[in-house]
Amino acid sequence: MNGILPLWKEKGMTSHDCVFKLRKILGTKKVGHTGTLDPSVEGVLPICIGQATKVAEYITDSGKEYIAVVTIGTATETEDADGAVIASDLTLKHITRTEIETALAKLKGEIVQIPPMYSAVKVNGRKLYEYARKGIEVERPERTVLIHEIELLDPVQWYEGETISFRIRVACGKGTYIRTLAVQIGELLGYPAHMAALVRTSSGTYVQNDCRTLDEVRTLQDAGRITTLLRPLEDALTDFATVEVSEELLEKVVNGQVLPEHPLLESEEAIVFMNEGKAIAVYRKHPTKLGLMKPEKMFPLNR
């Protein structure tokens, strides 16, 4: 069994829980997810099976889209609704739509984030949440992330109250913490804030309508129709240029040989060699040998 299964992760489960359950449902151990979603978050989680596990990193690194609820007035230790409140400002607030949209505009493009303490980012070989659970505060490395789009969704012109909540849509690059983005929005508005809810609506080329829940996957498997849900691993390679391999090069590519650099690599990050509509290898510039290229991923010719 090879392919990508677009899963809708429901609330209450970790991404690893989904992988564990799918291994049992599908009867195969070669199953991997494409980016962690917290238990309280639901949404699109493409699952790679068999040979498709080789392309999981490409989906993980691809763009994502989210719908988030930002709450202004309280901040939490986890930056989401699951953590204890660590700061609050419950004064009566009057915030206009224009003020929120101005703040959002400042967060579009490349921005700097500091990962939350309750995250899986590693510092000195340990995950930040391991320090946080012991009450240890450590210096966290800054990271630059890319916000492609960010917009206010609610058709409201004026927000008023001790706490204020509103929905935003965010299209972003890899490594973005929406929790931290909510805090940054609050900082620009002058108040403590946290992310109250989050749904991932797309991951790479996959959207909500492509996905099935675990129960639906189980039903399809029991009916012998699971292959109708699986998508080809080539779906994960759409960001790269494709080249139909010539008969002359076929054996060399299949054997993973170092080859003269393809002209497309002057402008492309990587190229995918194809044979009869199927990917057989991903090649990049050789890291140390000028004018040559080497395989990054190899896929069986017959699968």
Q: Per residue in 45-64, pLDDT tens?
A: 999 999 999 999 999 999 99
Instruction: Look up 210 and say whether it is catalytic.
Output: no
Instruction: Give me the chain's average pLDDT, please.
Output: 94
pLDDT of amino acid 209: 96
Burial bucket for residue 286 (CB in 10 Å: 0-12, 13-18, 19+): middle
- For the stretch 258-303, pLDDT in tens is 999 999 999 999 999 999 999 999 999 999 999 999 999 999 988 7
Categorize the per-residue pLDDT at 114 as very low, low, confident or very high, splitting at 50, 70 and 90: confident
Query: Which residue is associated with the tokens 């995918």?
Result: 272
Rounded CA separation 163/274 (Å): 55
Domains of the chain: 3-62+204-234 (3.30.2350.10), 65-200 (3.30.2350.10), 240-298 (2.30.130.10)
122, pLDDT greater than 70: yes
pLDDT of residue 244: 96
DSSP state of 51: G
> What's the rounded mean pLDDT across residues 13-28?
95
What residues have CB less than 8 Å from 110, skipping those under 6 apart?
Answer: 144, 145, 146, 147
3 pLDDT higher than 70? yes
pLDDT score recorded for residue 118: 67
Task: Compute how many other C-beta atoms are within 10 angstroms of the C-beta atom of residue 94.
Answer: 10
Does pLDDT of 113 surpass 70? Answer: yes
Residues 101, 169 contacting (CB under 8 angstroms): no
**Which entry of 38, 80, 210, 235 is annotated as an active-site residue?**
38
